[in-house]
Amino acid sequence: MLNFARGRSQPRSTRSMPLSGMEYPDPKRKSNFVGKILMAATLTALCIIMLKQSPNFNTLSRFSEHEEGVTHVLVTGGAGYIGSHAALRLLKESYRVTIVDNLSRGNIGAVKVLQKLFPEPGQLQFVYADLGDAKAVNKIFSENAFDAVMHFAAVAYVGESTLDPLKYFNVIGSDPEGRLGEAPKPELREHGRISGACFDAAHGVIPGLKVKGTDYKTHDGTCIRDYIDVTDLVDAHVKALKKAKPGEVGIYNVGTGRGRSVKEFVEACKKATGVEIKVDYLPRRPGDYAEVFSDPTKIRRELNWTAQLTDLQESLQIAWRWQKAHRDGYAAAS
């Protein structure tokens, strides 16, 4: 006798059913599981490929170990005017470079220019840090294998040096190929170098130049200074680096050995920019000496170094080209 239950029919279960201690899995569920594994494996492979293509892949190991035939140089203040030009020269000569800068005066835009020029792994790294932080400095040295240090991190603006004279020297010019230049931050412009003031006056950012002191015992009454092109300055540092030996100290005057008056500088600036810049003559500034220029005899004798770019107007023209092309400094690159 057969009994048929009355009511709605029930859908057949799709779950696996045990039979005699065995389980038969659902083929659709197995297929879904395999698909997930394949997707995870594919994503992992893609991530590895992307990491290998990244400029930072394995960078830590390259910077943290000494490598035969490669000199690793720490450039402090490497985001600044002089430091960035030094880093550029070193990178062009296949040095490995680590830039450390707190960006209080430097420009991250300069670092970005260098990163774009030298994107290969193990060439360049930037570390944001303050050298006044001993813990940070110790960490940097513990994580990197440096062979040499070029120290450019400093407070070196003219206005500030009136409280601590002769803290500064006069550097002019910029990269002849137009990749880098001088771009002081707006809040520091009034303390900057005379070349910066000259370009600001030519741009119309300020109404004119202010020359402080016309009664010094010089041929035209204004101060005399030794103006050195940044390219020459960097060249001297690189030559010193190549000659350097552990335990030996060399101290050198780096300059042209020839002084130029402030009036001569102003006239060269007018010709370089093509602008008839207004000049206001004011009383002396505290801390200024009448004449300051270097004697480069020792560096010429021991390192065979002599300044090559000694045409004041030409150096200013090169710098002016960069200034005209970068009215806002490195703002665009930043």
Cβ-proximal residues to 293 (8 Å cutoff; 6+ apart), any chain: 224, 225, 226, 255, 256, 257, 258, 259
Tokens 């569920």 belong to which residue? 29
How many CB atoms sit inside 10 A of residue 244's CB?
12
Provide the whole-model pTM. Answer: 0.79
> From the centroid of its chain, how far is CA 103?
9
Cβ-proximal residues to 182 (8 Å cutoff; 6+ apart), any chain: 81, 174, 193, 195, 196, 319
The pLDDT, as a whole number, for residue 17 is 39
What span, in angstroms and rounded, lies between the C-alpha atoms of 237 and 184?
A: 22
Per-residue pLDDT 10s for the chain (334 aa) are: 333 333 344 444 444 434 334 444 455 555 676 677 777 778 777 766 665 555 544 445 699 999 999 999 999 999 999 999 999 999 999 999 999 999 998 999 999 999 999 999 999 999 999 999 999 999 999 999 999 999 999 776 555 555 544 734 689 999 999 999 999 877 667 767 789 999 999 999 999 999 999 999 999 999 999 999 999 999 999 999 999 998 899 999 999 999 999 999 999 999 999 999 999 999 998 888 999 999 999 999 999 999 999 999 999 999 999 999 999 899 855 4
Tell me the three state secondary structure of residue 123. Answer: coil
Cβ-proximal residues to 204 (8 Å cutoff; 6+ apart), any chain: none
How many CB atoms sit inside 10 A of residue 327's CB?
10
Nearest residue to 69 via CA among 142, 147, 121 = 147
Q: Within 13 Å of residue 313, how many CA atoms lie on the same side as its CB?
A: 9
The pLDDT, as a whole number, for residue 50 is 63
What span, in angstroms and rounded, lies between the C-alpha atoms of 97 and 89?
A: 10
Strand pairing report for 279-282 and 227-229: unpaired
- Give the CA distances from residue 50 to residues 39, 44, 46, 195, 315, in Å, rounded to whole numbers and listed in that order: 17, 10, 6, 45, 44
> From the centroid of its chain, how far is CA 228?
20
The pLDDT, as a whole number, for residue 20 is 39
What span, in angstroms and rounded, lies between the C-alpha atoms of 286 and 213?
A: 10
* In contact, 87 and 149? CB cutoff 8 Å: no
Domains of the chain from N-terminus onward: 63-153 (3.40.50.720), 166-333 (3.90.25.10)
Cβ-proximal residues to 305 (8 Å cutoff; 6+ apart), any chain: 235, 236, 239, 254, 296, 299
Q: How far apart are the first and last CA of the chain?
A: 90
